[in-house]
Chain A
Amino acid sequence: MIYEILIDGRKFHLDLRREVKDSERWRCQLNGHELHVNGVLARPNILSILIDGKAFEVKRERIGSDLHLWVGSERYAAVLRDPRSFRSRRQTTDSLGGAKSLLAPMPGKVVRVLLNERDTVESGQGIVVVEAMKMQNEIKSPKRGIVRKLAVTQGDAVNAGDVLAIVE
């Protein structure tokens, strides 16, 4: 099987085949380098890999839409693609131009809205206060500008990544 893989934004080309059927030994071509690897799935989401006797444990994790592989206690962002099913590589552009969205960093409840729409705001000035797990956190403006839109009101429940406000 051939894969194209991005690890922390770095591109890898991987050709992976079992040495014999049902074997735990694999013959790999990683960016053109030939490797003999012993790899087994210890349990779902945990791989044990041996390369020339050197042992690695790799854990797989997904949070929201982000995927990470942990080699020991180091985390790598991973994206995997099977080129045969490749379709398009359309780039997205930020449709809001110079506008910046203020996102909820965690799920919680809006306890205060500190500004009104069309108010001017300094970089670093608090716009909304979100409470989660008994902590109140002031969500601050990423830039100097005008509050173009307030997407929440006091008492609203929000999820991580929800847009709270837009500053332009």
Chain B
Amino acid sequence: MFKKVLVANRGEIAVRVIRACREMGILSVAVYSDVDRASLHVRKADEAYHIGPAPAPESYLNISKILDVAKHSNAEAIHPGYGFLSENAKFAQACADAGIKFIGPSAAAMEMMGSKTRARQEMEKAGVPFVPGSVRGMQSRVEAERIAEEIGYPVMLKAAAGGGGKGMRLVNSKEELRPALDAAQSEAQRSFGDAEVYLEKAIVNPRHIEVQVLADEYGNTVYLGERECSIQRRHQKVLEESPSPIVGPEMRQKMGEVAVRVAKAAGYANAGTVEFLVDAQKNFYFLEMNTRLQVEHPVTELVTGWDLVHLQIRIANGERLPFTQQDVRLRGHAMECRIYAEDPDNNYFPSPGKITLLLAPSGPGIRRDSGMYEGWTVPVDYDPLLAKLIGYGENRDQTISRLVRALNEYFVGGIKTNISLFQRILDDEEFRAGKFDTGYLDRLLRSEAKRTKNNQADIAALAAGLFAMLDADSPLQGDEGGSVHAVSRTDSAFSGWKKTARIESLR
């Protein structure tokens, strides 16, 4: 087994991998940028090295810098996590050239799957079902308009090198195509260093369901059930669960077998995910293969009982899969809430800043994979994912009630988070009935929020006084830190009071 593994990532996933290393008796090496010196992954690792300034291209995407650290620290393998370099075939190849094991598939398999247009060509040969669309990237606006006419609006624009919704645009008409194309190309260039985009027929109100596959380096490939990922905003997954409320044993087997075929056609090794779009008639279409560990891998771990990161490391170490397809049994139900630093009252804009108070849930059926801690400042430079709260129970209902309970225990003060969004989703009848698609969350957010605020203003008033007497160190009036943005304030009585309070605290 490896003695030392470098984790080329940050945040909760770096912590997740470092924990697996610790459990397996492997030393872990963290890397960090200027703004991540105090981040949790640096605190948890056995060793940590600085790799550059905050912008990712100069640190977490800097291949030569990361390989230098690996060599210098004698790390034998690199785990890339998700995002950053995890699906970068050049990086996988550079690791191989440097004699360092990349914990993931080969560069060749990544290259095939990494370009969605090429993946599509290969998979069509293997008889995998597809949504109609352009098989390669578009050379011009004229070509884009022609293809869109052919397959019919609405169409979806996607970055060839993309993932996670970046560079993706829904286009309803010819008029919308040009600006959407410009925006998608610019975002693709910015996010992936590759502006290539392609077009697909948009399936209206589909579900997004994916299958976890696992393959060793000897061609043994299994599927580990599906994950329902239809709860999305801006094409970013927000909540995932396994099993899917609409997938039965027969459909699971069919999707699983296609997923295994996809992996085998690519000569795939290690953990990967095959994503499908599912229409109202439960037809499923291959969407893409993610050649890495997914953010939502814990829900699969909970229902299968297998630790995917342990298995990734063992496969990379040259071991055979320790089980066959017949050994895979799903038990119970798991659901994950992605806790983002976002402001629910401000259209879910990112909300970085200092975490002044953190109360974290625990108890039966609750798993929390987190990269934050009280006193830590969430940097503005990276993805706003703070933590994942995962519930597990005998069945879907119990899992939901455990998550609702845990969300009520969860408190992140000082920054805004989307915790309240999950309380709203989990309370929604349609969601509870398992009736949703990828458009569900946008529809829910457009509908009027139920105003269930109990009138506890008197308790708050009492607390205000008690705080002033018991905890004057951090006075309620606050110190005069930030500037005032009175322009948008309409409640003049309120701001008058506030102004008075500020003057008082300045005296």
Contact = CB atoms under 8 A, between A and B. Distances in A.
Interface centre among B454, B466, B486 (most CB of A within 10 A): B466
Contacts of A94: 486-487
B494 A132 contact: no
Contacts of B341: 133
Given A9-B491, A60-B476, A47 B498 contact: no
B152 to A, nearest CB: 28
Contact of B494 (A6, A70, A107, A163): A6
Given A14-B465, A106-B343, A133 B413 contact: no
B465 A134 contact: no
B356 A61 contact: yes
Given A9-B491, A67-B478, A61 B460 contact: no
A47 B458 CA distance: 15
B496 A90 contact: yes
Contacts of B499: 90, 92
Interface centre among A28, A41, A60, A106 (most CB of B within 10 A): A106
Nearest to B83: A134
Contacts of A46: 357, 359
A36 to B, nearest CB: 11
A46 B502 CA distance: 23
Contact of A12 (B408, B458, B466, B484): B458
B380 A132 contact: yes
Interface residues of A, number: 75
Interface string B337-374: 00001010011011111001101000000000000000
Contacts of B234: 135
B140 interface: no
Interface string A1-41: 10101111110101010000000001010110001010111
Contact of B474 (A30, A44, A80): A44
B325 interface: no
Contact of A65 (B456, B460, B478): B478
Interface residues of B, number: 79
A61 to B, nearest CB: 4
B486 A9 contact: no
A139 B107 CA distance: 40
Contact of B465 (A6, A16, A45, A72): A16
Nearest to A14: B465
B207 interface: no
A126 to B, nearest CB: 11
B237 to A, nearest CB: 15
Interface string B484-504: 111110011111111111111
B189 to A, nearest CB: 12
Contacts of B471: 41, 44-45, 47, 60
B11 to A, nearest CB: 12
B384 interface: yes
A30 B469 contact: no
Contacts of B498: 65, 79
Contacts of A45: 356-357, 413, 471, 474
A62 B497 CA distance: 16
A6 B182 CA distance: 49
Pairs A-B, 4 closest by C-beta atoms: A12-B461, A133-B350, A58-B463, A61-B413
Interface of B: 166, 183, 187, 191, 234, 341, 343, 346-347, 349-353, 356-357, 359, 380-384, 407-408, 411, 413-416, 419-420, 423, 453-454, 456-471, 473-474, 476-478, 480-488, 491-504, 507
10 contacts: A1-B468, A67-B477, A69-B464, A78-B460, A79-B501, A81-B497, A88-B500, A90-B499, A101-B487, A133-B383
Interface of A: 1, 3, 5-10, 12, 14, 16, 26, 28, 30-31, 35, 37, 39-41, 44-47, 49, 51, 56, 58-65, 67, 69-74, 76-82, 85-92, 94, 96, 100-101, 103, 105-108, 132-137, 160-161, 163
Given A46-B357, A56-B456, A86-B500, 14 more contacts: A5-B461, A10-B457, A51-B459, A58-B463, A60-B467, A63-B415, A65-B498, A73-B420, A92-B499, A96-B487, A100-B487, A106-B351, A133-B380, A163-B487
